[in-house]
Each structure stands twice: as C-alpha cells, then as structure tokens.
Amino acid sequence: MLTITKEFHFSASHVLDRLPSWHPCARMHGHNYIVVLELSARREDLTEPGFVRDYRDLDAFKKWMDDTLDHRHLNEAMGGGISPSAENLAVWIFDLWKERFPELMAVRISETPKTWAEYRPEQ
C-alpha cells in the first residue's frame, strides 16, 4: 500500500456547547486548525504517472475549505446539531470528501500544536 498526505490550514471559531458552562471550551473561542488528508492506493492501482492521486487534484479541497471553513464559525459551517469538536470535524470532512477522493483513508485535525484527532474508518 502506498500512502500520501497533504496538510491544509484554516482559522475558525467554535463553541462546544455540550460541555458544562464552567469549561473554557464552552465559551466561543478559536483555533488555527491543521487538516491532513491521507490517501492510499495499492501499487497496481497507481495512476499512469505513478501517483496515488495527483496532489494538484487536492486544490479542490483547499478551495472548499477556504470558502466553507476559513474564518467561519464552525457551529454554523458544519450545520446544526453537530458538535464541532475536532473528532466530529474529522468525520464530517471525511464523509463529505470520500466520494470525490475514493483513495481517502483518514482525516487528521489539529486544534493546537499538541493535540490531534483522527478519523480512519475500519476497513
């Protein structure tokens, strides 16, 4: 199996309103997010030039992310009813992009330099 990753950045606010009111993350706050897409393919499934997927194809994700998430309030951008935790953000992105990028294997989200959440569906 061959794997590629690409890292993207955006800034956004959110409120984790399902936390107790005393919890600091229950108040509106923001992060400089890092999103990493991981795509994989078997050697025999590489494209003609030898790619899992051309990195330039991921420009569509960057544009979507800039238009949909960057400098937005994630509670609104992700739609009502979804708590915008890093974990839920990873699942939401994966579900939105898996059809477009069938090679997508995982989405990793960082809210701070020391924290990461990853969604990798079971195979």
Burial class (CB in 10 A: 0-12, 13-18, 19+), 18: exposed
9 is catalytic: no
14 belongs to the catalytic site: no
Instruction: Tell me which H or E stretch contains 6.
Output: strand 2-14
The catalytically annotated residue of 25, 31, 38, 118 is 25
25 is catalytic: yes
Provide Rg for the chain, Cα atoms: 16
Catalytic entry in 23, 29, 71, 76: 71
- Positions annotated as catalytic residues are 25, 71, 111
